[in-house]
Amino acid sequence: MIANRSQLSFVGIALLATMACTPRQEARHEAPAPTARPSTAAILFVGTSLTAGYGLQPEQAFPARIGARLDEEGLPYRVVNAGVSGETSAGALRRMDWLLRQPVAILVLETGANDGLRGQDVEATRANIQAILDRVRREPSPPKVLLLGMEAPPNLGADYARRFRGIFADLARQNQAAFVPFLLDGVAGFANLNQTDGIHPTAEGHERVAQTVWKALRPLLTPAATGSTSVDR
């Protein structure tokens, strides 16, 4: 699943200080209210600073890179980046009713990273993500789901890391969701692919992430996906 987990060890403490924002900071970075826009089908990316593209221009974040790939292949989808820096799985759950006010064809869900950084209860994180998936299924036309897995920092101990890692594989299997085992595979721990904080990917790192996500997302796409609308940022 991970080329070399030992490469993550040097960022463990820094992760806790840099990525985890306070609840007040989460609210401050909330996306604007959704508005209807007749367009091609929407792929909604819900996530943390990793999805938001912390430290980069919007077009450099991996969701935008995937949007460019969609355009190149002539696939009629529109990318919506609803990443929020510092957000936990509980915060993502609170946003879902709001985010799903407009139809979504595919949900790409990246959440839980900040739960792990804060050492939050693994079962609470699992329950929040399951609740998100349950909420998605209640839609009149439920979107397809791609779940992006994450790793806990190694300074929290091997047992916590193992249980945290298992959340994502278990939920993907139980909910028959498409799955990427580790979003930052091939990026985490490589200094040349991360910003000076050692945590958030550079533009080149986001390109690597986009390649990883694209491999799992591509089979979910259909050539004639038109007519949906979704939220704008």
Could you list the active site residues? 49, 197, 200
Question: How many whole angstroms from its chain centre is CA 230?
Answer: 17
Amino acid, res. 14: A
Q: In sequence order, what are the residues at sequence separation of 6 or more whose Cβ sits closer than 8 angstroms to the Cβ of residue 69?
A: 210, 214
Question: 24-32: long-range contacts (C-beta < 8 A, 24 or more apart)?
Answer: 25/85, 25/86, 26/84, 26/85, 26/86, 26/87, 26/88, 26/91, 29/84, 29/85, 29/86, 29/87, 30/84, 30/95, 31/82, 31/84, 31/231, 31/233, 32/232, 32/233
Question: Residue 115's closest CA among 26, 206, 198?
Answer: 26
The DSSP element (H or E) to which 208 belongs, if any, is helix 203-217
Residue 185: DSSP 8-state: T
Comparing CA positions, the residue from 130, 131, 116, 199 lying closest to residue 164 is 116
Phi, psi of 201 (to 5 degrees): -65, 150
Q: Which helix (H) or strand (E) holds 106?
A: strand 106-109
Are 233 and 31 in contact by the 8 Å Cβ rule? The answer is yes
